[in-house]
Chains A and B, each alone.
Chain A
Amino acid sequence: MTRYIRHAAAFCALLLIALLVNATRVQVFQAGSLDANEANRRNAIVRFEQPRGDILVDGRPVTGSRDTGEQLRYERTYKNGPLYAPVTGYASQVYGTTFLEHAEDDILSGTDPMLAPLPLWNDITRAQNPGGKVETTIKAAVQQAAYAGLGGKRGAVAALEPSTGKILALVSAPSYDPERLSGTDRAVADTWAELNSGATKPMLNRAIRQTYPPGSTFKVVTAAAALDSGAVTDPDAPTKSPNPYTLPGTSTQLTNEVDGCTNASLRYAFQWSCNTVFAKLGVDTGLDPMVGTARNFGFNDRGLRIPSSVAASNFDTSMDRAQLGLSAIGQYDTRATPLQMAMVSAAVANGGSVKAPHLVDRTTTEDGDVVDTAGTKSLRQAMNPGTAAQLREMMTQVVDEGTGTNAAIPGVTVGGKTGTAQHGIDNSGTPYAWFISWAQADDDPEPSVAVAVVVEDAAADRGDISGGGSAAPIAKAVMEAAIGAH
């Protein structure tokens, strides 16, 4: 019997070995994929186990955390939620994260290895770092002015510091309070459904995720291309432009809202926004210089991140001459985000150099030790500095005595460009009112702010919509705030 007992013992040993092998399989070899399984709630539990790091505006947190004592313990709270929603985004237990909450999640949630005091420290201790802080470039006063200026009208504002690319304001209206998406209860799901079903799309970040036809504000780009390519050498010389202008190869006639555009100079056409002159100028300049300049300003860039990804602004790269003429006045397929148009304005203000727009000044640990600092990075040279100087002058004239007088600020040099963008089938939609501008206080060495405002106010009377009328006053308020905060 002894022999058979040994056999039975060997069988039991075999069972044990099978268990050990299987335990190793599950705990070592499959552990990675099991840990990463989306249905594994541990990730969420660990994630919400500690307060999330704060997002700071002007050194003050605009976010907070609330201890709920539940399984997903800490909920995100927001101060001035609707005001900063386009900057912070939301951090929801149920619906994930967006914008800075998403782009800087590793810092905020404490998982970024850079937060650890020593490399590999956390691998040894298995401890989690407290969430770090994200200091934004946003100026509260500028943000507030932009938000108040829009006054709930559908639209967006983007404001930049031209010399650095720091984003001073990023506003989208109507907005929403991201705090309503924190937590796990029924109300969160209801809020989500409500926000998504609304026709006004309050969660859409119009400043960086929505593109609009830029209308006449695009004439800045066209003018830069014409001057840089040599299509125009003297801004004050007549441009041999007919009025109306028949788009090449078609019978479509382009007209103007203002008089005096026949054969007008570039300066006059810019000041009074002559469609005929700029459409012809685009055609004269040619497709390649136009595409090249648009690209240098940032159009067709699918990789722009601030660090949230920015929707690509579009300027078609293959068009016939009629389409090019329309595109040159910001119509046809030309589309731009408000941030892109702020970059256009900033490029003019900054001698033609486009600085990388960014929203995060620096990230720190909870204790304030710097993890990463954003430096000023040049993206591209959009135009020659001489061209930029000429455009600055022309933009200033727009505000001094052209279509943009509503943006004038006493004691401050302001340059601007209005735009009214037709859209919809046969231009049936309510036009978008645009205004892009920059401002330089007289005692400042260089412009301190560049702004783009778009108002898509469906409720307004169609006749009243013009960049100068509804968008320029908002830009003015933003510039005043920026100069005040400067």
Chain B
Amino acid sequence: MAGTSAGTAPPAVPAVRVPRRRGTELTLLVVAVLLSVYGYCAVGLAKNDTVPPGAAGYGAGLGVLALVAHLAVRLRAPYADPLLLPIAVLLNGLGLVLIYRLDLETPHDEAAPAQLIWSTAGVGLFIAAVLFLRDHRVLQRYAYLSVVTALILMIVPIFFPAVNGARIWIRIGGFSIQPGEFAKILLAVFFASYLAANRNALAYTGRTLWRFKRLQLPTGRVLGPIVAIWLLSVGVLVLERDLGTSLLFFGLFVILLYVATGRIGWIAVGLLLAALGAFAVGSLEPHVHSRVEDWLHPFASIDAGRGPNQLAQSLFAFAAGGMLGTGLGLGHSILIGFAAKSDFILATAGEELGLSGLCAIFLLYALLVERGFRAGLALRDAFGRLLAIGLASILALQVFVIAGGVMGLIPLTGMAMPFLAQGGSSVVTNWIMVALLIRVSDSARSQPVPTPAEAE
């Protein structure tokens, strides 16, 4: 059986039958697909008073994708968490609905068909990952390959022209990808692997500062990686003008370091470095500086007579939604402009589904994250635990950074709302992440249920 903890001691008592919950998953998948189709129909009815002609095809397509993914899980990860796949399908389906809805306002620039193709590719990779990755610990072997690939992926866009101020794209012909997205997973794999291997060295060596044991810092030799990663993230930020990704990588590393070592000192160092870096870049780098200014004064451009900027438009959209939203298709978040379908997709959700809909979306993400953490808690191998925590943290951080940005909580950074936003690289990456979570949760849940004695 794939992913079981074959190396650990066999259960001392007769095995309790572990519930697989595949039926639950299938039921939830049906609900997710029906909800998406309902949203699709609601948009059409609101905008054109008719059910969109493609409704049946859309529903069938999404249903088939969900079904095949479900079959792959049933076949190769039968103990996997039953919530992961339905949540991913629902978020992806909802994202397609929102993009389709915005497409109706921009008939010459349709994004939903491409997004559907990317989603299909994402589900394809999901299936491939579930089918062919039999044990997540295999990934540990490729830690250094992962980090090298990640670095190459991150550096390559520097040689491509900037798009909307950020150098995070590779464009070949009409085809563009955002390699930083894939780098997320590779870095998570590397961090988990590195920390799993070195956690004792990191946790128990070093000198004590201020005589507080908790503030004990590692030696310079061991401190090297975090400084390297920090410099790398700031470097990425400066060269590619990508505040979001650098924040994500840095946050991911600090969280994993803390989980691996339990040393508050790491967090102190991390926060200090992050604050220093953010302050330096925020005040020196013009592109980032303007983002910070926009965040502090979202209506400055209105006062200056230049009309509302994107952030102000986004805030207007959220406000227009209020508690219950305007209803799908009935909002005007297209006023946000060119990034309405990508970075600002949440504003459409906020306007048309309201605070209630937004809470539901946040809770879906929260469930996804929580399920990742739960898998991490249940796993026995350090790499698997850190990988699960890493993937869950990426999701949590990314949702926080982009949602906080478009709602004026923190400075705006160009990032994609997982599954919801337009963006091929993003949706493909997210499906791979869910595949990995499925894999680790399968390992976690297929472990024999610990006896009361073991659970202590």
A25-63 vs B, Cβ < 8 Å mask (1 yes, 0 no): 011101110110111111001000000000000000000
Which parts of B377-408 form the interface with A (CB within 8 Å)?
A: 377, 382, 385, 389, 392-393, 396-397, 399-400, 403-404, 407-408
How far is the CB of B388 from the nearest CB of chain A, in Å? 9
Find the B residue at minimum CB distance from A19.
Answer: B403
| B358 located at the interface, meaning its Cβ lies under 8 Å from any Cβ of chain A in the complex | yes
A159-190 vs B, Cβ < 8 Å mask (1 yes, 0 no): 00000000000000000000000000000000
A4 with B409: in contact, given A18-B400, A19-B399, A30-B319 (CB under 8 Å)? no
Contact A12 B396 (CB under 8 A): yes
Q: Which residues in A have their C-beta under 8 angstroms from that of B318?
A: 23, 26-27, 31, 34
The one of A4, A12, A16, A24 in contact with B393, judged by C-beta atoms closer than 8 angstroms, is A12
How far is the CB of A29 from the nearest CB of chain B, in Å? 10
Contact B262 A27 (CB under 8 A): no
How far is the CB of A420 from the nearest CB of chain B, in Å? 48
Chain B contact residues (Cβ within 8 angstroms of A): what range? Answer: 35 or more
The one of A1, A9, A16, A27 in contact with B400, judged by C-beta atoms closer than 8 angstroms, is A16
Q: Which residues in A have their C-beta under 8 angstroms from that of B377?
A: 2, 5-6
Q: Which residues in B have their C-beta under 8 angstroms from that of A35?
A: 316, 319-320
How far is the CB of B376 from the nearest CB of chain A, in Å? 5
The one of B366, B376, B407 in contact with A26, judged by C-beta atoms closer than 8 angstroms, is B407
Find the B residue at minimum CB distance from A7.
Answer: B258
Q: Which residues in B have their C-beta under 8 angstroms from that of A7?
A: 258-259
How many angstroms between the C-alpha atoms of A40 and B331 in the bound complex?
A: 13
Q: Which residues in B have their C-beta under 8 angstroms from that of A5?
A: 259, 373, 376-377, 385, 389
| A8 located at the interface, meaning its Cβ lies under 8 Å from any Cβ of chain B in the complex | yes
How many angstroms between the C-alpha atoms of A23 and B403 in the bound complex?
A: 9
Q: Which residues in B have their C-beta under 8 angstroms from that of A30?
A: 315, 319
| A376 located at the interface, meaning its Cβ lies under 8 Å from any Cβ of chain B in the complex | no
| B431 located at the interface, meaning its Cβ lies under 8 Å from any Cβ of chain A in the complex | no
Give the total number of A-B pairs whose CB atoms are below 8 A apart: 131
Which of B8-16, B87-95, B321-329 is near enough to bind chain A?
Answer: B321-329
How far is the CB of B191 from the nearest CB of chain A, in Å? 13
| A237 located at the interface, meaning its Cβ lies under 8 Å from any Cβ of chain B in the complex | no
The one of A13, A20, A27, A37 in contact with B302, judged by C-beta atoms closer than 8 angstroms, is A37
| B179 located at the interface, meaning its Cβ lies under 8 Å from any Cβ of chain A in the complex | no
A8 with B404: in contact, given A26-B318, A27-B318, A42-B320 (CB under 8 Å)? no
Q: Which residues in A have their C-beta under 8 angstroms from that of B366?
A: 12-13, 16
Q: Which residues in B have their C-beta under 8 angstroms from that of A40?
A: 308, 316, 319-320
Contact B335 A41 (CB under 8 A): yes
Find the A residue at minimum CB distance from B354.
Answer: A27
| A11 located at the interface, meaning its Cβ lies under 8 Å from any Cβ of chain B in the complex | yes
B289-324 vs A, Cβ < 8 Å mask (1 yes, 0 no): 000000000010010000110001001101111110
How many angstroms between the C-alpha atoms of A7 and B397 in the bound complex?
A: 15
Contact B323 A23 (CB under 8 A): no
A26 with B385: in contact, given A16-B400, A19-B400, A19-B403 (CB under 8 Å)? no
A19 with B407: in contact, given A12-B393, A27-B358, A37-B299 (CB under 8 Å)? yes
| B355 located at the interface, meaning its Cβ lies under 8 Å from any Cβ of chain A in the complex | yes
Q: Which residues in A have their C-beta under 8 angstroms from that of B319?
A: 26-27, 30-32, 34-35, 40
How far is the CB of B110 from the nearest CB of chain A, in Å? 19
How far is the CB of A294 from the nearest CB of chain B, in Å? 45
How many angstroms between the C-alpha atoms of A126 and B262 in the bound complex?
A: 52
How many angstroms between the C-alpha atoms of A243 and B409 in the bound complex?
A: 83
How far is the CB of A322 from the nearest CB of chain B, in Å? 52
How far is the CB of A27 from the nearest CB of chain B, in Å? 4
Contact B335 A27 (CB under 8 A): no
Residue among B392, B396, B399 having the largest count of chain A Cβ atoms under 10 Å: B396
Q: Which residues in B have their C-beta under 8 angstroms from that of A39?
A: 299, 302, 307-308, 312
10 new A-B contacts at CB < 8 Å, known A2-B377, A15-B400, A27-B321:
A5-B377, A12-B392, A12-B396, A18-B400, A18-B409, A19-B399, A22-B409, A23-B318, A35-B320, A39-B299
Could you list 20 A-B pairs, sorted by A, with CB under 8 Å? A1-B260, A1-B262, A1-B382, A2-B377, A5-B259, A6-B377, A8-B259, A16-B396, A18-B404, A19-B399, A20-B359, A22-B409, A23-B350, A23-B359, A23-B362, A30-B319, A32-B319, A37-B316, A39-B299, A41-B335
Considering the complex of A and B, which 10 residue pairs feature the smallest CB-CB distances, nearest first?
A34-B319, A12-B396, A15-B400, A31-B319, A39-B302, A27-B355, A22-B409, A9-B373, A39-B308, A4-B259
User: B: which residues have CB within 8 A of A?
Assistant: 255, 258-262, 299, 302, 307-308, 312, 315-316, 318-323, 326-327, 332, 335, 350, 354-355, 358-359, 362, 365-366, 369-370, 373, 376-377, 382, 385, 389, 392-393, 396-397, 399-400, 403-404, 407-409
User: A: which residues have CB within 8 A of B?
Assistant: 1-9, 11-13, 15-16, 18-20, 22-24, 26-28, 30-32, 34-35, 37-42, 45, 126
